Amino acid sequence: MSLPKVLDKIDAGLDASIERLMNFMRIPSISTDPAYDADVERAADWLVENLKSIGVTAEKRTTPGHPMIVGKIGEELDDKTPHVLFYGHYDVQPVDPLDQWKSAPFDPQIVDSAHGKVIRGRGSADDKGQLMTFVEACRAWKAVTGTLPCRITFFFEGEEESGSPSLVPFLRENKDELQADIALVCDTTMVSRGVPSVSTQLRGMLKDEFTLIGPSIDLHSGLYGGPALNPLREISRIIASFHDPETGKVTIDGFYDGVKEVPADQLRQWNDSGFDEDVFLGDVGYSQRHGEEGYSTLEQLWARPTLEINGLWGGYNGAGSKTVIPSEAHCKLTCRLVGDQDPAALRKALRAHVEARLGPDLKIRWENDLSGSGASVMNLERTEYEAARGALSDEWGREAVFSGMGGSIPVVGFFKSELDLDSMLVGFANDDDAMHSPNEKYDLESFHKGTRSWARILDALATH
Amino acid sequence: MSLPKVLDKIDAGLDASIERLMNFMRIPSISTDPAYDADVERAADWLVENLKSIGVTAEKRTTPGHPMIVGKIGEELDDKTPHVLFYGHYDVQPVDPLDQWKSAPFDPQIVDSAHGKVIRGRGSADDKGQLMTFVEACRAWKAVTGTLPCRITFFFEGEEESGSPSLVPFLRENKDELQADIALVCDTTMVSRGVPSVSTQLRGMLKDEFTLIGPSIDLHSGLYGGPALNPLREISRIIASFHDPETGKVTIDGFYDGVKEVPADQLRQWNDSGFDEDVFLGDVGYSQRHGEEGYSTLEQLWARPTLEINGLWGGYNGAGSKTVIPSEAHCKLTCRLVGDQDPAALRKALRAHVEARLGPDLKIRWENDLSGSGASVMNLERTEYEAARGALSDEWGREAVFSGMGGSIPVVGFFKSELDLDSMLVGFANDDDAMHSPNEKYDLESFHKGTRSWARILDALATH
């Protein structure tokens, strides 16, 4: 019956926990941009030292990309003690547009908000703050009881924001070392503020990128304008063809193959989850939903696939003007996948859709080696789910809900395919945390109650 | 009968003339980017000193923008001596994409090409090299005869590549000082290599720029993808609506008001001008013309209006990928105008076309103070035209042609409207000079024969 003491320990040590998180956040571990490689390495070293300070036998493991971290604690406990693998990522998103930040992205600040104090800075919510809720819960358990209620394997990667190129090979090479009863992942949001949530389905993701090439050199729009083929005009025409303007549906042949409608009872759960569509949309400047006709906002977010343009550029974007017809136009896009949509088949269909629309003299270059992963649906027959739901309900004083998740956490699919390991996703982020955006933040409530929640879940998993 | 001696002097001094041009080109006078303001100033000072070395009373005149240069020579000549105003611009275009240059843009190089030696570097053709053909012709006349065959006012601006914001106010404030019989402009191309040309019609230009705003902040495409409005998708839809994909015509209401068909006899002249469509298009990677259905390449270039996207950007364009739905999408565009198309009316129609296509929650911000100028058609009844045509034919050993011009030289319209001054456009650039593009160059033949051509034209204007 150590749990109350552990929770008191967490409360008493909150300021120190926050200080550790802020030190972690000060390291600009942007994994997608090689300019930050040394910082990503530094973040890995920081995390290894932090785990060791709890008594975890943690190591940094090199990969062809950014390092993995593997750590173990509670190995002295007997085999009947549950063994969980906790996953998180220590890398973060790029920070542009920099001029929209209210404070430097890697100089974390504690500021007041409409919902109490928050920690502002890149990585606060995605995923350093969430990752640390679990680490700090373990720290408190160790401090109070000298051990942990479960055997724990820590597994952290530094490539989650850049497609995890090293993940699958690493899982294959270290299959035995990473065995556990279940994987715990803390990289998700609560369905709405104050409503604890276990995410039971995640969308998959397909990334692609192409360049259209028109003239062999940039041209003067006066000397060539008229007979010249302008790739900016062509790329706009092609992008405009991806969606049906009436229904909002993606027009690529076979795009919806493998997409299933949401069962009525699950829809009812979602509708009763306290999610407020108007607040969710209004917070980011929308007066209405803009997705597929005939689906609720939660369905559009959790159960419907999308095709989004994430980057579009070509020609002159500097000060003043330049009368140029550029040689190239570029597009980065991602599809969010659901149900049984097959990333490989969709990539083929997407590329066929684009190439069928190339006119004479218009060439295309595709970016290769871009990742794709299918959607994940959790195995709700695992008893750990109800145990965690109970622990979360106790902490938050409100029944926890089984929700969906619009984002993609490919590792969940790979844990299943490579390690035959089921995952449970519990996260404490809020929709207004501006993950991937300027002024990313994490509520102190999320950090504090999140840490307490993990302390309770570890206890529940050991005793259920 | 000094002309033969003057031509000999030009031949003998060619190397020194080239060296002066290269010194001029070494100054990165990019007028559209404030980062280069000091260099633009330096280019103006260099040019003033260069004019003074011929005996021109040259001055730099400050404006709210970049300085103007006004110089006079031959003022001692009597009033019956023709008085010409020579115009050119000493500013240049930006140099991006820098990685496509074979040598540094502001480190001019003399290199071999399929058509003999060329001077490679930004400004070689547009307009420093062309401007210097006239200056060097004057230098030779002065050296041989101690004077000039015509009274000459030099007028150079440093804002031609950035919309000439100070031009009209300056013309108004200095109306009397800038009076002359005719304006000579050297900023145009030859209709084809080795075919001397007098440009008798120019397209006008309308510039505009807008930003579409969707969500109030950048969004995570997993957490919001579906119900979110993506401004990159919206801007593509709007840009795609500018043209009829079948006919290539611009779809904006009233866009073609004031556009006239080319008279048959003029079309015949153009068709006999030696212009090779296949070479013109093939040089830049095209197998066919891509403009308005039913018009020849020269008509599309010289006599038909266009709408071109010059810049398009939004979202993430760095290394790797970023799963973002950006708050903003940006577009820079220009229209080339012909006949009596009215820039002000077209700007209204363009903006109405775009705004009629904004959906709910999609906001727009227009860039203001962007320039517009109508097309120019020369007054061919001026006897100077035939005099110049004769001089050019003598120099190039081939009948000079009256051609059109796809580019825009707004100053020609302003000389007429503000100073009631007709212009004559004679230029020696070639279509493959890559003006506004990487590896801009100017043929030594253009520079040498161009200088000799101006020497002959000044003589012809004085004696015709």
pLDDT band at B288 (very low <50, low <70, confident <90, very high): very high
Q: Is the CB of B203 less than 8 angstroms away from the CB of A223?
A: no
Q: Is A37 on the interface with B (CB under 8 A)?
A: no
**Dihedral of alpha carbons B272, B200, B306, B339, sign:** negative
Q: Are B118 and B30 in a shared domain? A: yes
Q: Is A207 on the interface with B (CB under 8 A)?
A: yes
Residue A163 pLDDT more than 80? yes
Residue A436 pLDDT more than 90? no
A66/A30 Cα distance (integer angstroms)? 11
Q: Are A148 and A228 in a shared domain? A: no
| Smallest CA–CA distance from B359 into chain A, residue | A290
Nearest to B291 among A163, A219, A227 (CB): A227
Between the alpha carbon of residue A337 and those of residues A166, A406, B222, B255, the distances in Å are 22, 9, 10, 43
Q: Is residue A448 part of a domain?
A: yes
List pLDDT tens digits, range A75-116: 999 999 999 999 999 999 999 989 999 999 999 999 999 999
pLDDT band at A381 (very low <50, low <70, confident <90, very high): confident
B285/A362 Cα distance (integer angstroms)? 10
Q: Are B208 and B131 in a shared domain? A: no
Q: Note whether A405 and A203 are within 8 A (CB).
A: yes
CATH number for position B37 = 3.40.630.10
Cβ-based contacts of B224 with chain A (< 8 Å): 284, 301, 406
**What number is the ipTM of this complex?**
0.79
Q: Is the CB of B311 less than 8 angstroms away from the CB of A311?
A: no
pLDDT of residue B265: 79
Domain termination residue (choose one: A372, A396, A418) = A372
DSSP letter (8 states) at residue A87: E
**Strand pairing class (B83-89; B182-185):** parallel
Q: How many CB atoms lie within 10 A of CB B34?
A: 12
Q: Note whether B40 and B66 are within 8 A (CB).
A: yes
Residue that is written with structure tokens 């006078």 in the block: B29
List pLDDT tens digits, range B234-245: 999 999 999 999
The residue of A205, A324, A412, A431 whose CB has the most chain B CBs within 10 angstroms, and thus the best one to mutate to test that interface, is: A324
DSSP letter (8 states) at residue A313: E
Q: Is the CB of B301 less than 8 angstroms away from the CB of A221?
A: no
Burial class (CB in 10 A: 0-12, 13-18, 19+), A318: middle
Q: Are B164 and B21 in a shared domain? A: yes
A63/B179 Cα distance (integer angstroms)? 74
| Smallest CA–CA distance from B368 into chain A, residue | A320
Q: Are B342 and B425 in a shared domain? A: no
Q: Is B93 on the interface with A (CB under 8 A)?
A: yes
Residue that is written with structure tokens 């008798």 in the block: B200
Q: Is residue B326 part of a domain?
A: yes
List pLDDT tens digits, range B82-130: 999 999 999 999 999 899 999 999 999 999 999 999 999 999 999 999 9
Q: How many residue pairs from chains A and B have C-beta atoms closer than 8 A?
A: 350
Residue-range definition of the domain harbouring residue A441? 3-202+375-463
> Can you tell me the mean pLDDT for A135-159?
98
Q: Is residue B287 part of a domain?
A: no
A415/A155 Cα distance (integer angstroms)? 11
pLDDT band at B192 (very low <50, low <70, confident <90, very high): confident
pLDDT band at B322 (very low <50, low <70, confident <90, very high): confident
The residue of B436, B439, B440, B441 whose CB has the most chain A CBs within 10 angstroms, and thus the best one to mutate to test that interface, is: B436
**Strand pairing class (A151-157; A83-89):** parallel
Nearest to A321 among B207, B284, B437 (CB): B207
Q: Is the CB of B315 less than 8 angstroms away from the CB of A297?
A: no
Q: Is A236 on the interface with B (CB under 8 A)?
A: yes
Q: Is A34 on the interface with B (CB under 8 A)?
A: yes
Planar angle of CA B242, B243, B249, nearest 5 degrees: 130
Q: Which two tokens stand for residue A377?
A: 């649906």
Q: Is the CB of A286 less than 8 angstroms away from the CB of B215?
A: yes
* CA–CA min distance B188, chain A (Å): 10
DSSP one-letter string for A393-429 = HHHHTS--EEEEESS--HHHHHHHHHH---EEEEE-B
Domain termination residue (choose one: B324, B346, B372) = B372
Q: Is the CB of A437 less than 8 angstroms away from the CB of B217?
A: yes
Element (H, E) at A156: strand A151-157
Q: Are A422 and A325 in a shared domain? A: no
Q: Are B249 and B128 in a shared domain? A: no
Q: Is A189 on the interface with B (CB under 8 A)?
A: yes
Q: Are B16 and B164 in a shared domain? A: yes
DSSP letter (8 states) at residue B262: P
AA letter at B162: S
**Which residues face A207 on adjacent strands?**
A334
Between the alpha carbon of residue B396 and those of residues A267, B161, B193, B196, B452, the distances in Å are 81, 30, 11, 7, 10
* CA–CA min distance A291, chain B (Å): 4
* CA–CA min distance A245, chain B (Å): 9
Q: Is B228 on the interface with A (CB under 8 A)?
A: yes
> Can you tell me the mean pLDDT for B261-279?
87
Nearest to B306 among A225, A336, A438 (CB): A225
Residues in A 119-158 with any Cβ partner in B closer than 8 A = none
Q: Is the CB of B226 less than 8 angstroms away from the CB of A301?
A: yes
Cβ-based contacts of B309 with chain A (< 8 Å): 230, 232-233, 236, 315
Q: Is the CB of B227 less than 8 angstroms away from the CB of A311?
A: no
SS3 call for B439:
coil
Q: Is the CB of B321 less than 8 angstroms away from the CB of A313?
A: no
Residue A397 pLDDT more than 80? yes
Q: Is residue A48 part of a domain?
A: yes
Q: Is residue A284 part of a domain?
A: no
The residue of A89, A280, A284 whose CB has the most chain B CBs within 10 angstroms, and thus the best one to mutate to test that interface, is: A284
CA A229 to chain centre: 39
Q: Are A108 and A133 in a shared domain? A: yes
| Smallest CA–CA distance from A222 into chain B, residue | B407
Q: Is residue A367 part of a domain?
A: yes
Q: Are B85 and B212 in a shared domain? A: no
B196/B280 Cα distance (integer angstroms)? 17
Domain termination residue (choose one: A354, A372, A390) = A372
Q: Is A368 on the interface with B (CB under 8 A)?
A: no
| pTM for the structure as a whole | 0.79
List pLDDT tens digits, range B21-59: 999 999 999 999 999 999 999 999 999 999 999 999 999
B184/B151 Cα distance (integer angstroms)? 12
Burial class (CB in 10 A: 0-12, 13-18, 19+), B104: middle
Q: Is residue A281 part of a domain?
A: no
Domain count, chain B: 2
> Can you tell me the mean pLDDT for B249-275?
91
Between the alpha carbon of residue B312 and those of residues A232, B321, B358, B364, the distances in Å are 7, 18, 17, 15
Q: Note whether A138 and A55 are within 8 A (CB).
A: no
Q: Note whether B174 and B191 are within 8 A (CB).
A: no
The percentage of chain A sitting over the pLDDT mark of 90, rounded to a whole number, equals 86
Q: Note whether A102 and A120 are within 8 A (CB).
A: yes
Q: Is residue B297 part of a domain?
A: no
pLDDT of residue B373: 85
Average pLDDT across chain A, whole number: 95
Q: Are A60 and A148 in a shared domain? A: yes
Q: Are A238 and A335 in a shared domain? A: yes
CATH number for position B254 = 3.30.70.360
